[in-house]
Amino acid sequence: MDLIDEARTIQEEIDTTFTYAYECLQRANIENGISNVEMLAYTVPIENSITIQTRSIMGTEIPHVKYMPDAGKPTYSFSTTRESIDKAREAFRKVKDLTVKLSMVENAAYRLAGNIKKTQKRANALQNITIPMYTSLVYTITNALEEKEREEFTRLKVIKRMKTKKQGG
C-alpha cells in the first residue's frame, strides 16, 4: 500500500504547510491590512500550467498531472509591501504544489482500489457461482456418459450372445 502511505505523508505535510500558510496570511493581514492583501490577491494570474494526462496501470486509467511551478515573479512591488506577504505567497505556492501531488496519489489509489474491488467481485462470482455450476454440469455429463457406456456394453453382450446362439444353434 505504497500509495496510501505516500498520500498520508503528503497529507500530513499539507496540514503543517496550510497551518503555516494561514499564520503567514494572518500576519500579512495585520501588517499590510486586509484590503491591501485582498487587492494583491487579485493581481495573481490564473494558473494555466496544469495539464492532466492519463496512463494505464493494470487496465485502470490513472490521471497524471503535469504541473510547471511558477518561477516566482511577484505581481506586487516590494517597496509597498512587507516580508509577511512574501512568506504567505511562498507558503501557499508550496500548498499548491503539494495539493497537485496529493491529488495524483489519492486519485490513483481510489481508482486502483475500485478496480481491485471489481476484480475481487468477479473472482468471487467465478468461485461461488460459475465454477460450482460447471462442476455440477461436468458431473451430470460424466454420469450420462457412464450410463450410455453401460447401456452400450449391455447391448454388445446381448448381440454377442445372439450371435453365439445363431452359430451354435
What residue numbers bound the domain in which 82 lies? 2-106
For residue 131, tell me if it sits in a domain: no
Helix pair angle (2-32, 34-42), 10° resolution: 120
For residue 77, tell me if it sits in a domain: yes
> Residue 24 has which C-alpha cell?
503567514
CATH code assigned at 79: 1.10.287.3240
0.75 exceeded by the pTM?
no
For residue 101, tell me if it sits in a domain: yes
For residue 23, tell me if it sits in a domain: yes
Whole-angstrom distance, CA of residue 19 vs CA of residue 114: 32
For residue 123, tell me if it sits in a domain: no
Written as tens digits, the pLDDT of the chain (169 aa) is 588 888 899 999 999 999 999 999 999 999 888 988 888 888 888 878 888 888 888 788 888 888 887 766 777 766 677 888 888 888 988 998 899 999 988 988 888 888 889 989 988 988 888 888 999 999 999 999 999 999 999 999 999 999 888 887 6
Spell out the residues 6+ positions from residue 97 whose beta carbon is closer than 8 angstroms to its own.
67, 69
Number of domains in the chain: 1
Strands (E), the chain: 50-57, 60-67
Q: What is the pLDDT of residue 49?
A: 81
